[in-house]
Amino acid sequence: MTTEPRRVSFIFPIYNEEDNIDLLHKTVDEVIAPLAGRYEFSFLYIDDGSHDKSLEKLTELSQADPRVSVIELSRNFGHQMAVTAGLDLVDADAAIIMDSDMQDPPRVALELIEKWEQGYDVVYAQRRTRQDSAFKKVTASAFYWALRKMAAVDIPKNTGDFRLVDRKVVDELRKYRERDRFLRGLVSYIGFKQTAVMFDREKRHAGVTGYPLRKMLRFAADGILGFSVTPLRMITRFGYLISLLSFLGVLYVAGVKAFAPETAVPGWAFITIAMFFLGGIQIIMLGVLGSYIGRTYSQVQNRPLYGVASVRTGVPEMENADSRTASR
């Protein structure tokens, strides 16, 4: 085995966090200090078009600490894109993605690393409690409930993007270039050995949330639409339901004709049943269109068809391609 320290890089998306950057960096640095000999740490800050003094702060930080790199995005692209930029540019054996407002407690990073050492490729931090507004808590749990019902993959509830991902997973993630990104869903989709670490989410230290309701709804839609075609399938089900009503209508009309013909209104039956029948057919046909659109959609997402975790052959040296190339 090699004795070189393993490299761990932190990815911090920054949007108007001028009053959090110094504290964040100081706290993380203190937390990881005991591990300094065993790991080589670096910090990747991504300024996502901040309007405040964040970029100045980051520049100062990079001048003071050689482990710090700063990426300045050309405008605000949103949290998911900022993290994506970080994942694209990070160069380490593992990356730890963390919010920069101290809501994700830096000390949890140690537990993430510990699990990684046990052989997990993804260690996500799962919230036991959170210090957010009642509104945010209610909407978040409704969202995760709906997402788990609909999504084709098992996306763990109460997790944000706070997690450690092994280099293998980073390499996989880089292949996913879809525009409407829901990273935590992609990480679940990719697979590998995943586990959770529980933590209590803190309050934001300073500044205001970069996720107003508008962005939150959009993000929720990215999660559901990106991992499920259930909404499209619902069209077909609704169409069948309406058609069923027309069938019940026929039974009702036949009943009236047979048992109480004197109450039958002329023409009523024909118009009502035809209405339900045609309505049903139309909606079913929309559903048919929907299923083709659904297929077109997943084709257009252009996701890799599968990911390979390892290849085992009869030759022992072939088991790990990395060790082969390393020994050359």
Within 102-141, the residues that bind ligand UDP by CB under 6 A are: 103
CA distance 72 to 60: 14
> Which range binds ligand UDP by CB under 6 A, 11-19, 181-189, 253-261, 287-295?
11-19
| Min separation Cβ 180 and ligand UDP, Å | 15
Size of the site for Mg ion (CB under 5 A): 4
Q: Which of 8, 10, 15, 42 binds ligand UDP (CB under 6 A)?
A: 15
162 CB-near residues (< 8 Å, 6+ apart): 97, 98, 99, 104, 108, 124, 125, 199
CB-nearer residue toward Mg ion: 81 or 229: 81
Token pair 């960096």 is at which residue?
Answer: 25
What is the three-class DSSP state of 7?
Answer: strand
- Which residues is 39 bridged to in the sheet? 6
Q: If contact means CB under 5 to 8 A according to the sort of partner, which of Mg ion, ligand UDP, none does residue 18 touch?
A: none
32, 109 Cβ separation under 8 angstroms: yes
What is the chain's Cα-based Rg?
27
223, 123 Cβ separation under 8 angstroms: no
CA distance 134 to 65: 39
| Min separation Cβ 119 and ligand UDP, Å | 29
Token pair 């692209």 is at which residue?
Answer: 77
245, 207 Cβ separation under 8 angstroms: no
CB-nearer residue toward ligand UDP: 90 or 232: 90
Using CB under 5 A as the criterion, what x/- string covers residues 87-126 for binding Mg ion? ------------x-x-x-----------------------
Using CB under 6 A as the criterion, what x/- string covers residues 286-325 for binding ligand UDP? ----------------------------------------
CB-nearer residue toward ligand UDP: 168 or 181: 181
264 CB-near residues (< 8 Å, 6+ apart): 253, 256, 257
Mark out the alpha helices in 167-229 (DSSP H runs): 167-173, 183-190, 213-227
Q: Which of 41, 71, 92, 101 binds ligand UDP (CB under 6 A)?
A: 101
CB-nearer residue toward Mg ion: 115 or 201: 201
**Residue 16 interacts with Mg ion (CB under 5 A): yes or no:** no
Contacts with ligand UDP by CB under 6 A lie at 13-15, 17, 48, 76, 78-79, 82, 99-101, 103, 204, 209-211
Positions that interact with Mg ion (CB under 5 A)? 99, 101, 103, 204
